[in-house]
Amino acid sequence: MSNASVFSALADPTRRSLLLTLAEHDHRTATQFADDYPITRQGVLKHLHVLKDAGLVTVYQQGREKRYVLTPEPLSELVDWVDELNTQWEARLQRLKAFVESAESR
């Protein structure tokens, strides 16, 4: 999955909340989510579909029910990407600081 699809999925506060719920309570059904959220089961399914497409949840069949489970790997990849971005910005800021300090000392 791409970082773009993960960012897009995480852009919605309801989807972020669904992920937090899955982190606390594994193996939830859309009906269980709908009982806890102020949206319909169909609305929950649409959000879960976006999360699934981004690779953030997986689905498995248990009897007649589909259960959703958090897949944390894309989040780890996202953290790695943000850490790399942070490293690059820190290096740029250090170069800027050195430039400003050398200009001040002249």
Task: Read off the CATH number of the domain in which 41 is found.
Answer: 1.10.10.10
Q: 85 or 1: which carries more pLDDT confidence?
A: 85
Q: What is the pLDDT of residues 83-103, one digit of tens each?
A: 888 899 988 998 888 888 888
pLDDT, mean of residues 51-68 = 94
Residue 57 predicted with pLDDT over 80: yes
Domains held by the chain: number: 1
* 34 contacts 44 by C-beta, under 8 angstroms: yes
pLDDT attached to residue 1? 60
Flag whether the pTM goes above 0.95.
no
Report which of 6, 30, 8, 4 is spatially closest to residue 18, judged by C-alpha positions: 30
Domain that holds residue 70: 3-105
* 9 contacts 56 by C-beta, under 8 angstroms: yes
pLDDT, mean of residues 34-57 = 95
Residue 69 predicted with pLDDT over 90: yes
Two tokens at 6? 């993960």
